[in-house]
Amino acid sequence: MPNLVNIRKLVVVLESGLFPQTKSWLHTDEGFCCLGVASELCRQDNPEIYHWARNINGHFEFVTPLGNSLGSLPVATAEWLGLEPTTPIRLGSQVLQKPIMPSDLDLVGPDGKELRASQMNDDGKSFAEIAAAIRRTFPEAFQ
């Protein structure tokens, strides 16, 4: 079930202009992508568990006890947003694919088509445009 408080918090911050926007990576010296902003908010809510660290290539990684992430939505951030894991894929009684957390934030575009937050970000859509798509996708967070 989506965490409406955290989704609302993300939209407010994306619309605020507090974070400079970058592409391709969650976090760089220049700023954050939209998923990086969500990860930073998750970190601020849980500073004893999550942090940013530079890897040997100089990129920031979102560090969690379950692993690090550079460009895709970290599991910890997906959980902070209240996103649901995928449904397991079964063939009879055999599990072919275990449930996994989404690696992106699926959104609804102005035309009703599905969009991915990271793609919108990397295609040059502003944080305000991404926030509008989040509002369309989770209207219950803004009632």
pTM greater than 0.95 = no
- What DSSP assignment string belongs to 6-56? HHHHHHHHHHHT-S-B-SSSSEETTEE-HHHHHHHHHHHH-TTT-EEEE-T
DSSP state of 82: T
Could you tell me if 107 and 116 are in contact, meaning their C-beta atoms sit under 8 angstroms apart?
yes
State the DSSP string of 109-142.
-TTS-EEEHHHHHHTT--HHHHHHHHHHH-GGGG
91 vs 102: which has the higher pLDDT: 102
95-135 pLDDT, tens digit each = 665 666 677 888 988 898 899 999 999 999 999 999 999 99
